[in-house]
Structure 1
Amino acid sequence: MIRFVLRLAASAAATLLVCGLAHGQEIDPDILKAQAGTYLIAPDDGRTGCRMTLETDMAIGGYSLSGQDSCAKPLPALAEAAAWNFDGNGGVILIDPTRKVLARFVENEGSPMKTKDSVPLLLVAAPDGIDHLPTFRGLAGTWTMQRPDGERLCGVTLKGNAEANGNAPLSLSGDCAANVARLKLAVWHIEGFGLTLMGHDGSSLAFDMRADGNFDKSKEEGGKPLSLVRQ
């Protein structure tokens, strides 16, 4: 599964530091630098989002940001963002020039930060050129599991109907290589830009999305390179 670094050393530490900021103390520069960066902000239903860069310079109410103009069409409320800050609970807020909170991204262990709206917005590092989050419906279809040189290991059909547990069924072709077939992969899951194929016995293969919409095996998996390519 893709490893989303929430870019905070620890929630408790961040909370203490934010509380200190409220009393005139500064955030630890290392924590500030770790959270800063360019993110995609997008609805979790697959609609188009926008990119915004959280910077480290001081601004009214927090720290400077850029790129908010790109939100004018897909997420117009966020085009008014003038600064960002930590919220005191391990999350991140975007605020307008009057310090009104436009979006509050809550920390989710092991997952991207997201708002608590009826259709949540995610704050996530994304491949260049990607402006929306993958969905079960969007990824449903036939894929080929292959090596970088094109060697085919298995055909994978992803079903688009997610179940209550957040997984959707998949099926494998009958000619899979032995090292794939023995995993007995049966369901798949999306987490941000990560796609994980899983077996009912605990086996799994995790992939990270590329800019072209295909997937490469997550580096944390180790072993030989492997890709999922849409057919």
Structure 2
Amino acid sequence: MIRFVVRLAAAAAALLACGLARGQEIDADILKAQAGTYLFAPQDGRAGCRMTLETGTAIGGYSLSGQESCTKPLPALAESYAWNFDGNGGLILIDAMRKVIARFVENEGSPMKTEDEIPLLLISAPESVDRLPTFRSLAGTWTMQRPGGENLCSVTLDGTVDTDGHAPLSLSRDCAANVAGLKLAVWNIEGFGLTLMSHDGSSLSFDMRPDGNFDKSSEEGGKPLSLVRH
């Protein structure tokens, strides 16, 4: 299951800041933890591209690959030559002249993203997915079911977002008692995570699968559960 990953804890971020300020090399474990293939995608749901942050050195930072995948969806990122830490727990992409192309800021508990009017997110993603889900793209009716196919409830997600960043949902009248008892009323998304919530603190969190459906987050515990689009 896919969840966004914030790989640098506060202590690690402080270490990075000290190391960068002194011109020292980054600790190998921190570098390895951040390296990997990520989706770089606009928050508004437009197509993004994948690049791999590597551990090899390059002028101005560390090597990366996959820039060619950005040529059409995000041409500015296609000019990326290297990546590096910014000393504040964030990450930068630079071109061959060491000019910063994009700066991704650390957000505790959330994916790194730029501070542009329409932010770009740096996020782990299912291999077949090239864009972030949005309230509009997920709006509609879904079936909550067990892996074997037992249907527990129909869930209709409304795409109208309120000032708190939530949107309403409704449950079918034939929901299983354990689902109905949660009194789920609103939902939100963050990265590839979908959360259904009540107004009194109950919630269910799901992670997007490569096929666009969702499985209950492993952090939830209990029996497996899926949300499958009608």
Note if 1:134 corresponds to 2:128. Answer: no
Alignment correspondent of 2:170: 171
Superimposed CA distance per residue, residues 161-194 of structure 1 (whole angstroms, 9 cap, x where no aligned partner): 0111110000000000011000000000000000
Q: Aligned runs of 1:84-163 on 2, under 5 Å?
A: 84-163=83-162
Moved more, 97-106 or 12-21: 12-21
**Residue type of the alignment partner of 2:170:** S
Alignment correspondent of 2:189: 190
| Cα distance in structure 2, aligned partners of 1:18 and 1:98 | 23
Alignment correspondent of 1:7: 7
Alignment correspondent of 1:60: 59
What's the secondary structure of 2:185's corresponding residue?
A: strand
| Cα distance in structure 1, aligned partners of 2:171 and 2:153 | 7
| Cα distance in structure 1, aligned partners of 2:88 and 2:35 | 17
CA RMSD of aligned residues (A): 1.1
**Residue type of the alignment partner of 1:152:** N
Alignment correspondent of 1:78: 77
Deviation of 1:71 after TM superposition, in Å, equals 0.2
What's the secondary structure of 1:185's corresponding residue?
A: coil
**Residue type of the alignment partner of 1:5:** V
8 Å contact kept, 1:188–1:198: yes
8 Å contact kept, 2:20–2:26: yes
Count residues with an aligned counterpart. Answer: 229
**Residue type of the alignment partner of 2:4:** F
Superimposed CA distance per residue, residues 134-163 of structure 1 (whole angstroms, 9 cap, x where no aligned partner): 000000000000011110000000000011
Flag structure 1 segments of 5+ consecutive residues without an equivalent.
Answer: none
| Cα distance in structure 2, aligned partners of 1:22 and 1:65 | 23
Deviation of 1:24 after TM superposition, in Å, equals 3.0
| Cα distance in structure 2, aligned partners of 1:40 and 1:96 | 18
8 Å contact kept, 2:5–2:123: no
Deviation of 1:4 after TM superposition, in Å, equals 2.9
What's the secondary structure of 2:31's corresponding residue?
A: helix
**Residue type of the alignment partner of 2:108:** E
What's the secondary structure of 1:79's corresponding residue?
A: helix
8 Å contact kept, 2:16–2:88: no
| Cα distance in structure 1, aligned partners of 2:6 and 2:113 | 11
Alignment correspondent of 1:228: 227
Flag structure 2 segments of 5+ consecutive residues without an equivalent.
Answer: none
Alignment correspondent of 2:31: 32
**Residue type of the alignment partner of 2:7:** R
| Cα distance in structure 2, aligned partners of 1:164 and 1:51 | 32
TM-score by length of 1: 0.96
TM-score by length of 2: 0.97
**Residue type of the alignment partner of 2:93:** L
Alignment correspondent of 2:50: 51
| Cα distance in structure 1, aligned partners of 2:202 and 2:16 | 40
8 Å contact kept, 2:3–2:124: no
Superimposed CA distance per residue, residues 5-64 of structure 1 (whole angstroms, 9 cap, x where no aligned partner): 2111x2343233243234331111111111111100000000000001101111110100
